Chains A and B, each alone.
Chain A
Amino acid sequence: MDADARSGETRPETVDADARSGETRPETVNADASSGDTEPETVDAGGPPRLLVVDDHPIWRDGVAERLSAAGLPVVGTAGDGAQALRVARATRPQVVLLDLHLPDLGGAEVTRRLLAADPSVHVLVLSASGERQDVLDAVTAGATGYLTKSASLEEVIAAVRSAAAGEAVFTPGLAGLVLGEYRRLGGAPERETPRLTNRETEVLRLVAKGLTYREIAERLVLSHRTVQNHVQNTLTKLQLHNKAQLVRYALEQGLG
């Protein structure tokens, strides 16, 4: 139940791939990532992304908020449960929500769905303890843009927040494994309109799950970095669209449409 909290599987690939030049130590990645973030779309026009931190554990919540503030990311609000998160989000209009999945009132997927319904431009980044695989998958198919475990270092979190603010999926190997597994499960389902992966997408997703950076994948498959990124993004988008379509169909069937 606790596979990846200790596993250091938290490197935010999108930044990682760009920022580092082949070193394996996370420290180097971080130093590079915070200083040399040159991708134009990761730099938001209005300065650093505004953050909302949602976690029911006060020590953790305040600790993270304090450290992110100290690192120059404006934390515009914190919340201890889902309902409060929705209220604070309405009032403070954050660009990125750091969301713990284990909240006392609402499930992580439900909070994600409602946050996005209230403001489709918000990016939800799941920052949660491990051992909640299905919860992570549910939140991501509900529209969350990525997932980090709580054992991630501050620099990794900062890098992931910047990627998320730029609208990029924050893919860790653990998340790639979950998404791959979800497609395998859907592949076994008899329905026609379930989303499928192309062979290339499967290949890319497997490589991400095996810990390769986008740059390494691009090199291995002789693709551009941007293409690799698009493939990864697609795998997530397809799942999210499928999830949305299912919800709409369910609502129609129940006469709620």
Chain B
Amino acid sequence: MWRAVGVYRLISLVYAAVIIVRDHERYAHPNGGLAVLAVMAAWSALATAAYARVPARRPWIAGVDVAVAMALVLATRLVDTAARIDHGAGTLPLCWAAAPVLACAVAGGPWAGLTGAAVVSVADLLERQALPRNTFNGIVLLVIAGTVGGHVVRLVLRAEAALDRAARREAATAERQRIARDIHDSVLQVLALVSARGRELEGEAAELGRLAGEQETALRTLIALPPTPAPDGRLDVRTLLEPLAGDRVTVSCPAQEVLLPEAAARAVAAATGEALDNVRRHAGPDARAWVLLDDEGEAVAVSVRDDGAGFPAGRLEEAAAAGRLGVAQSIVGRIAELGGEADVTSAPGRGTEVELRVPRNEVEHHGR
């Protein structure tokens, strides 16, 4: 930004220099013209350096900047002949006087840009003591440069900050993933080994193995990233189901992500969690459970099966008829709300199986 202002200042300085050197013979005070040029060059160098070196003082420098431009514009009256000025000759600094306006815009935004433009315009009017067409055009351009420039600068700064934040977040996530991989590859494997060997032994060794297993689980939870929705608001169902796995619960998923609108994904995961709670409560202490996430394309299916006690056919209907709406009904309700189906099958001694099926077009529709 500041570099752009500096470049503009340099180019406009060169332009003004060419004009002054060409015309100074015709001025009332030729040496005065050269003196103005010298001040412009000196101030250009000083201001450009100051803006770059002391960023904290930029508003002050911009104020001085505007004052210098104003003085040099007014100096035109002293240096040039009245006839030439009335005939429409430009001010001595020409478009160099717009550089402070741009500096104001960059330093302080559209309002500062507008203020700078107003001050320089007042100088123009005082110098001219009239409002010919080209001066009017110059003022309009100054105002536009000040306000639009300031506005664009604001936008750019905001975009840069957002980009910066995103980059930092991405770097943090990548770093966290790297650490997670490292832990996965080192500490967790040793803990798993200790836990596995401990389980094969008895007494204190078994206790140590059990503790190692607990730490393994805790560490895994710690390094797992929380489920975050994609920019389009969809969430990978796998990231919600995986944490449900445990000693007696197996979760099987595809290698590819399984995306659903966030609300639907969370409802499916909640229903799955309830089904697993049911297994823990009713299927018996030794029951194991398997969760399968199957992405059929048009629909997403989740199956929760256990090898526990099971119950006779018709039990659910009896319970419903008696006015007891059990957990099974709450699962069915949750999924029906999404436009999907839930199916519970069981037989005594054969375990229970809950099948959830959520059609994609239904939930996408619900999501809107």
Contact = CB atoms under 8 A, between A and B. Distances in A.
Interface of A: 1-9, 24-25, 56-57, 59-60, 63-64, 67, 102, 129, 131, 133-134, 136-137, 150-154, 173-174, 176-178, 180-182, 184-185, 187-188, 206, 209-212
A184 B296 contact: yes
Contacts of B295: 181, 184
11 contacts: A2-B220, A2-B245, A3-B242, A3-B251, A6-B217, A150-B192, A177-B254, A178-B253, A184-B295, A210-B290, A210-B353
Contacts of B185: 56-57, 102, 129
B184 interface: yes
Given A1-B225, A6-B245, A177-B293, A59 B193 contact: yes
B292 to A, nearest CB: 5
Interface of B: 180, 184-186, 188-190, 192-193, 195-197, 199-200, 216-217, 220, 224-225, 238, 241-242, 245-256, 286-290, 292-297, 303, 305, 307, 353
B250 A4 contact: yes
Contacts of A154: 196, 200
A188 B246 CA distance: 32
A243 to B, nearest CB: 14
B196 A153 contact: yes
Given A7-B250, A60-B193, A151-B192, A177 B292 contact: yes
Contact of B290 (A102, A150, A209): A209
B290 A24 contact: no
Contacts of A176: 252
B216 A210 contact: no
Per DSSP, chain B at the interface is mixed
Nearest to A63: B193
Contact of B255 (A60, A63, A178, A210): A178
A180 B297 CA distance: 12
Contacts of A1: 180, 184, 224-225, 242
B288 A137 contact: no
B305 A210 contact: yes
A105 B250 CA distance: 31
Contact of B189 (A60, A173, A182): A60
A25 B286 contact: yes
Given A9-B250, A206-B292, A129 B184 contact: yes
A213 to B, nearest CB: 10
A60 B190 contact: yes
Contact of A177 (B195, B224, B253, B307): B253
B196 A151 contact: yes
Contact of A180 (B196, B197, B254): B254
A244 to B, nearest CB: 19
Given A1-B225, A8-B288, A173-B250, A211 B305 contact: yes
Given A4-B245, A4-B251, 19 more contacts: A1-B184, A3-B242, A4-B252, A5-B220, A6-B245, A7-B251, A8-B250, A9-B250, A9-B251, A63-B197, A133-B253, A133-B255, A136-B255, A154-B200, A173-B292, A181-B255, A182-B255, A184-B254, A188-B297
A36 to B, nearest CB: 20
Contacts of A182: 254-255
B294 A211 contact: no
Contact of B252 (A9, A67, A137): A9
B248 A8 contact: yes
Nearest to B216: A6
B199 A129 contact: no
B293 A184 contact: no
